[in-house]
Amino acid sequence: MDTANQLASVGTFQVLKLPLGFIRVLEWLFAIFAFATCGGYSGQLRVSVDCMEKASSNLSIGIDFGYPFRLHQVAFEAPMCEAMRRERVFLSGDYSSSAEFFVTIAVFSFLYSLVATVVYIFYLNKYRENSQRPLIDFVVTVVFSFMWLVSSSAWAKALSDVKVATDPDEVQLLIPACKDPTNKCGSVHGPGWSGLNTSVVFGFLNFVLWAGNIWFVFKETSWHKGGSRLASSAPDKQAGTFDQQPYNQGSFDQSGSYSTQGSFDQPSEYSQVGGPTSYSNQM
Ligand SMILES: *[C@@H]1O[C@H](CO)[C@@H](O)[C@H](O)[C@H]1NC(C)=O
């Protein structure tokens, strides 16, 4: 059976059981994981500088960094190993462009797939009425899968560079006092990487989802349908417009009777009307 026919024959939320809708839901969930794990990251490494002149040593220098990984702006105080003096040392490298690109794609991808999910659920007929909409959806899906591939690759490369630049053994080399062999520098601990490794995995998973959905969106386009529009969308639309109307009127009538009820002017009249008004009269 054709996907288009399937979409027309299913109920509102049933759209989510079909690949197109289901993958869209996964897309925005996975986009959240991608930008939350990358954008919310903060890590710490710790090094020790054990000077010849013991008093000026600092055996636990903590260095904090995080998104967006402008490491050249991350500074810490290191002992100079002479006369208790300390100096500011900066980490090296700026990985913000890759990190921000990745998070930006994730955020826009989240917004688009969320809006698309809402459109499929509530406006599927409108979506399919105009052959341009599936076409736009198709083009956007192709662009996003390409962007996920590029940004995930760029971010994976940047992450491997960040790992080197924040390796305590590498950071020691930046501390001038450590160049003197009489002072002993060591690493206490490195930063944790599980969050950022997860973000790269979710980046590539998002690429797989978007690339996979290209096919299911393509099936919605007129290119695939060969221009034969399906008329089966009409019954759904009628059902949608007619079911709210009577309920709305009913609730308006009731609210009117309740407000006059407050004055207790005409209790006998209302008790004869019956139904909800006689019930409210007992209060
Ligand atoms: C060692 O460096 C940390 C900063 O990482 C600082 O808070 C601490 O006061 C320093 N300790 C000494 C003994 O200078």
| Least trusted range by pLDDT, from 52-61, 67-76, 168-177, 256-265 | 256-265
d(CA 100, CA 66): 12
- 12 three-state secondary structure: helix
Instruction: Tell whether ligand 1 has an atom less than 6 A from the beta carbon of residue 235.
Output: no
- Pocket test of ligand 1: the residue of 46, 48, 58, 74 to mutate, having most ligand atoms within 8 Å of its CB, is 58
Mean pLDDT of 142-168: 97
Looking at the DSSP bridge assignments, the partners of residue 65 are 43
Q: Position of tokens 């959240």?
A: 32
Q: CB of 39 within 8 A of CB of 65?
A: no
Report the chain's mean pLDDT, rounded to a whole number. Answer: 81
Atom 12 of ligand 1, residue of closest alpha carbon: 58
Burial readout 55-64 (b: 16 or more C-beta within 10 A, e: otherwise): ebbbeebebe
Decide: helix, strand or coil at residue 246: helix
Q: What percentage of residues in the chain have a pLDDT greater than 90?
A: 62
Domain ranges in the chain? 3-229
For ligand 1, atom 11: residue with the closest CA: 58
256 C-beta closer than 6 A to ligand 1: no
CA 11 vs CA 59, 68, 83, 231: distances in Å = 65, 44, 78, 16
Q: Give me the pLDDT at residue 276, please.
A: 41
Quick one: pLDDT at residue 269?
A: 40
Q: Which residue has the higher pLDDT, 1 or 140?
A: 140
The per-residue pLDDT for 107 is 97
Q: Ligand 1, atom 13: nearest CA belongs to which residue?
A: 58
Q: Is the pLDDT of residue 151 over 50?
A: yes
| 29-56 per-position pLDDT tens digit | 999 999 999 999 999 999 999 999 888 9
**What is the reported pTM?**
0.74
Name which residue sits closest to atom 2 of ligand 1, judged by CA: 61
User: Considering only CA atoms, which residue is closest to atom 7 of ligand 1?
Assistant: 61
Higher pLDDT, 129 or 275: 129
Please tell me if the CB atom of residue 56 comes closer than 6 angstroms to any atom of ligand 1. no
User: Is the preceding omega at residue 68 within 30 degrees of 0, hence cis?
Assistant: yes
The CA-to-CA distance between both ends of the chain, in Å, stands at 58
Strands (E), the chain: 42-50, 58-66, 75-79, 86-90, 184-189
pLDDT of 256 > 60? The answer is no
> Ligand 1: which atom is nearest the Cα of residue 79?
14
The residue type of 243 is D
Taking the C-alpha atoms of residue 202 and residue 90, their distance in angstroms, rounded to an integer, is: 31
pLDDT tens for 89-123 read: 999 999 999 999 999 999 999 999 999 999 998 88
Centre of ligand 1 from the C-alpha of residue 193, in Å = 24
User: How remote is the CA of residue 78 from the centroid of ligand 1, in Å?
Assistant: 8
Both structure tokens of 209: 């989802």
Cα(35)–Cα(48) distance, integer angstroms: 33
- Please tell me the predicted confidence (pLDDT) of residue 14: 78
